Amino acid sequence: MSTTSAPRDLYAVIGNPVAHSKSPFIHARFAEQTGEPLDYRHLLAPLDGFVDHVRAFIAEGGSGLNVTVPFKLEAHALADRLSPRAAAAGAVNTLRFDVDGIYGDNTDGVGLVRDIEANLGVSLKDSRVLLLGAGGAARGVVLPMLDRAPRALTIVNRTAAKAEALVEQFAEAAGQAGCELTGGGAHAVGPHPYDVIVNATAGSLDASLPECDDSAFGGGTLAYDMMYGAQPTVFMRHAQALGARAADGLGMLVEQAAESFFVWRGVRPDGAPVLAALREMLSAAVKR
């Protein structure tokens, strides 16, 4: 009887730092769930060695990479081909290596949309959405949100010109979606509560709140922070104090990984049980 195991395709998450990444746990669960034969690891690259490490990984037989900070712009530049959403985002978080070269995609926005709609049960269609921030995280989610045809999308940023630039960049897509797209500084926030508010700023990393009038939050508002942690973020606590429902970005992490898995394998895993397992892990860590 042969004890030789079937060959397994190699994947990894590349970043600096990267040891904290939960991607190996997530993709191991996806592989178990789908029966796909793959191994997944962490790959630490020096800040000036991203391309060399990617090339070495390909030479080793690697099939694909997830890309985390600070290499998403370099991944975008390295790709031979880009998905429309990666081209719109100007950044790549998923690389696939095949006979046609290096394919770059950005699954962050799809992950956000799927978490909001499938896991949290809030439809973006015909909704009023407020997006806080105009950096890379915000740019990566605008097109996937527009694809869901919200009634209105307002982009607000501390530097108004950056929000206005995004409005200009996505004006055509908004028109095709039938969405009223506006943006600017804090003054651009409307006087009535929004259906969904997405915090795409890095404020929660240093416990600071984005500039946003309290009137934007209401009892029917989903306030979504792309950041996550063992405890609710300062943005989530602020939103809850104003009567809104709050959620963190852990589900986005899982769902963007599920989309990456689909880009690589052509199979879309179920994110819900993996998200539940991660929640349990975070809860256990708090209790220790």
Binding site, by residue number, is 21-23, 68, 93, 108, 133-137, 157-162, 226, 228, 249, 256
* Exposure b/e, 76-107, CB count within 10 A at least 16 = b: bebbeebbebbbbbebbbbbbbeeeebbbbbb
Q: Distance (Å, rounded) from C-alpha 167 to C-alpha 279?
A: 35
β-pairing, 94-98 vs 101-105, is antiparallel
Among 54, 63, 57, 51, CA closest to 98:
63
What's the angle, vertex CA 79, arms to CA 77 and CA 82, rounded to 5? Answer: 105
Looking up tokens 């869901």, which residue turns up?
148
Among 102, 76, 80, CA closest to 90:
76
Q: What is the DSSP secondary structure assignment for residue 195, as one 8-state letter?
A: S
Q: Distance (Å, rounded) from C-alpha 146 to C-alpha 132?
A: 15
Amino acid at 155: I
Q: Distance (Å, rounded) from C-alpha 222 to C-alpha 160?
A: 24
Residue of 27, 29, 53, 72 marked catalytic:
72
Q: What is the DSSP secondary structure assignment for residue 4, as one 8-state letter?
A: P
287 given a catalytic annotation = no
* Dihedrals phi, psi of 224, to nearest 5 degrees: -115, 120
Residues known to be catalytic: 72
